[in-house]
Amino acid sequence: MNTPARLAGFAAAAAAVFGLALVGGRVVGPVADEPAEDGHGAHADRTPLTPATGRTEIPGGLMVAQDGYTLTLDADRAAAGADVPVSFTITGPDGVPVTSYEVQHEKQLHLIAVRRDFTGFQHVHPTLDDGTWSTDLDLTPGTWRLFADFKAAGGEALTLGADLAVDGAFEAAAPLEETRTALVDGYQVTLEGDLTAGADARLTLSVSKDGRPVTDLQPYLGAYGHLVALRAGDLAYLHVHPDGEPGDGATEPGPDVVFHTAVPSNGTYHLYLDFQHDGVVRTAAFTVTAGGNAAPAEESEEKHGQQEGESGGHAH
Ligand SMILES: [Cu+2]
């Protein structure tokens, strides 16, 4: 039952039935989770994304290098403390540090620093000197993820990510509970809307202070809010901008700021809203679980289950 020949036969049949391509003896498509001939199944492989959803994009922030651009921290370790200097370069396809960037949201590069257990979040704008970016961060002990969100001149917008180990003893924080109301400096920010894998979600963030809606939000980097969403588990990064712009004649300066985004998968996301009022930028943090309808993938999921059941225990 579990011989490679049998698997190859199934794969060929599956390819015939589903019109899939056979590449190097492996099926590319919904049945790519078939146990491979090495007996391990393909779970650890980077499975090509299914035609069922048609999504082929890898979320931002998961890689140090992409499309020829590489993020390199000058040091991948740092001391804990306030105002710890951190510097890095982005090298381009020619291997040389990039010195020319396109401005996005008023800055050439946005740096997001998050402790991997989500207990710290900073959004800062480093300064560029001869290809080296420098900034100060407030760092507590633990592993931090740094995201460089930029668009090199002549390149595509990218977010590269790298880890920074910060010295000192620490305890990983307990997982964050679902939180749709954030309190920060006397402001209350609520989040309405549900995230669904692969589908556009409308999120409304409403800002109030002392029980009164805030109707005079100030533009921050060209918008009334900036929303960063990080997926629990791997910190896949999404940077979302709201509907409308300050001064477009239609967008009100609060209390609601409306965002549209599609998350790449179901699961838990940590969301950080940067907003400005009375001249101060503050961050409101939320934890939301994306659930909802994953129907397009269900049929192939079932096939996986059956095949795994048939070939369980097959190993060399
Ligand atoms: Cu920024």
C-alpha dihedral over 70, 71, 75, 77, to 10 degrees?
A: -120
Residues of the chain with pLDDT below 50 are 1-52, 55, 293-316
| Dist. CA 176 → ligand 1 center (Å) | 24
Ligand 1 center to residue 233 CA distance, Å? 23
Contacts of 229 (CB under 8 A, 6+ apart): 237, 238, 240, 261, 263, 269, 270, 271, 272
| Residue 151 pLDDT | 98
Give 174 Cα–ligand 1 centroid separation in angstroms. 28
State the amino acid at position 128 in one-letter form. Answer: L
Q: How far is the CA of 107 from the centre of ligand 1 (A)?
A: 7
271 vs 224: CA distance, rounded Å: 16
pTM score over 0.95: no
d(Cα 267, Cα 231) in Å, to the nearest integer? Answer: 7
Task: Beginning with the edge strand found earlier in the chain, give each strand of the sheet holding 81-91 in spatial order.
Answer: 65-66, 69-73, 81-91, 132-139, 127-129
Q: Tens digits of per-residue pLDDT, 208-265?
A: 999 999 999 999 999 999 999 999 999 999 998 898 889 888 899 999 999 999 999 9
Tokens standing for residue 282: 């503050």
123 CA to middle of ligand 1, Å? 6
Spatial separation of the C-alpha atoms in residues 301 and 296, rounded to whole Å:
10
Q: Which residues surround ligand 1, an ion (CB under 5 A)?
A: 110
Q: Report, in angstroms and rounded to the nearest whole number, the Rg of the chain calculated over CA atoms.
A: 23
CA of 39 from ligand 1 middle (Å) equals 46
Ramachandran angles phi, psi of 137, nearest 5°: -125, 150
Residue 287 alpha carbon to ligand 1 centre in Å: 21
CA of 209 to the centre of ligand 1 (A): 24
DSSP state for residue 296 in the 8-state scheme:
H
Separation between Cα atoms, residue 134 and residue 136, nearest integer Å: 7
Residue 268 has, within 13 A of its CA and on its CB side, a CA count of 14
Tell me, yes or no, if the two domains 65-166 and 181-290 fold the same way. yes
Q: How many Å lie between the centroid of ligand 1 and the Cα of residue 111?
A: 6
Which pLDDT belongs to residue 1?
Answer: 42
What pLDDT is recorded for position 54? 53
Alpha carbon 240 to its chain's center: 11
Q: What are phi and psi of 304, to 5 degrees?
A: -55, -45
Distance 258 CA to ligand 1 centre (A): 18
Give strand pairing partners of 209. Answer: 187, 212
- For residue 276, the CA-to-ligand 1 centroid distance in Å is 13
Task: Give me the pLDDT at residue 31, please.
Answer: 35
Intra-chain end-to-end CA distance of the chain, in Å: 15
| CATH code of the domain occupying 181-290 | 2.60.40.1930
Contact 12, 5 (CB under 8 A): no
Query: pLDDT tens digits, residue range 178-214?
Result: 999 999 999 999 999 999 998 999 999 999 999 999 9
Question: 113 C-alpha vs ligand 1 centroid, how far in Å?
Answer: 11
Backbone torsions φ then ψ of 9, nearest 5 degrees: -60, -45
Cα–ligand 1 centroid distance for 268 (angstroms): 23
Transcribe 57-107 into DSSP letters.
Answer: PPPBTS-SEETTEEEEES-SEE--EEEEEEEEEEE-TTSSB---B--BTTB
CATH superfamily of domain region 65-166: Macroglobulin (MG2) domain (2.60.40.1930)
Instruction: Map out the domains of the chain as residue ranges.
Output: 4-48, 65-166, 181-290
